[in-house]
Amino acid sequence: MRLFDLTGRTALVTGASMGIGRALAEGLAAAGARVVLNARREGPLEAAAEEMRATGADVRTLAFDVTDRAAVRAAIDGFEVETGPIDILINNAGIQHRAPLDEFPPEEFERLFAVNVTAVFDVAQAVARHMIPRGQGRIVNIASVQAALARPGIAPYTATKGAVANLTKGMATDWARHGLNCNAIAPGYFDTPLNAALVADPEFSAWLTKRTPAGRWGRVEELAGAAVFLCSDAASFVNGHVLYVDGGITASL
């Protein structure tokens, strides 16, 4: 199990105050990592950190808005100087907006790309500029089953997650030579605050359980193992890969 041991490594997780980000942070902490939780709002961030500390996890917080490029750079550069190296980045922060494509508000289209794509680039670049001189680092971007599949009402979101998947491949192509491993996790349908409206819709839930070979919604803790693997020595030669954790939905018609 030493291949999966993250003891001594520091992991920054964006969008970590709840949902998938929180679950991934807990999974990395359980594998021995020191975790740095990020979100925009200090209140929910500190509350999440305190709950995790109560379990014995080594947790710190770093509040910044991932869509503010200057704030991203200042926060990450400052942490590296004042606290130490960031060995692992989980690029998880993301948003959703549902509307028919012919009625989709242009400002929401731009906001989706700002959070789901541009911020992934900005945060990864800021962290990679420190990882590259050290000759090692792990970057895991959170894509989605929508990188491969589309559904009505979320075409722009689908476009952003397809971009994340291909950006991940580009990161690996540019940065693997410097010792960085850049991969993505593509979750299927998970019971999260982002999907609360769908979880509460009996018709959608019935469709989903029939459509998914596993026959149910995913639980966020089921993503932790994939993250630990990609961040560990067990994945030392895995680069540019998009790992679907989706109950088989992309494998079946």
Q: Please report, for the chain, the start and end positions of each structural domain, with discontinuous segments joined by +.
A: 2-244
8-state DSSP, 177: G
Tell me the pLDDT tens digit for each residue of 16-53. Answer: 999 999 999 999 999 999 999 999 999 999 999 999 99
Closest CA to 182 of 91, 76, 74, 79: 91
Of the CATH numbers 3.40.50.2300, 3.40.50.300, 3.30.460.80, 3.40.50.720, which one belongs to the domain with range 2-244?
Answer: 3.40.50.720
Q: Above 90 in pLDDT, residue 193?
A: no
Tell me the pLDDT tens digit for each residue of 120-178. Answer: 999 999 999 999 999 999 999 999 999 999 999 999 999 999 999 999 999 999 999 99
Question: Catalytic site residues?
Answer: 157
8-state DSSP, 217: P
Helix crossing, 155-175 with 119-134: angle to 10°? 10
What gap in Å lies between CA 251 and CA 253, rounded to an integer?
7
First-to-final CA distance of the chain: 36
In this structure, the strands spanning 88-91 and 242-245 are: unpaired
85 CB-near residues (< 8 Å, 6+ apart): 10, 130, 131, 134
Closest CA to 182 of 242, 224, 104: 242
Model's pTM, two decimal places? 0.96
What gap in Å lies between CA 40 and CA 115, rounded to an integer?
12
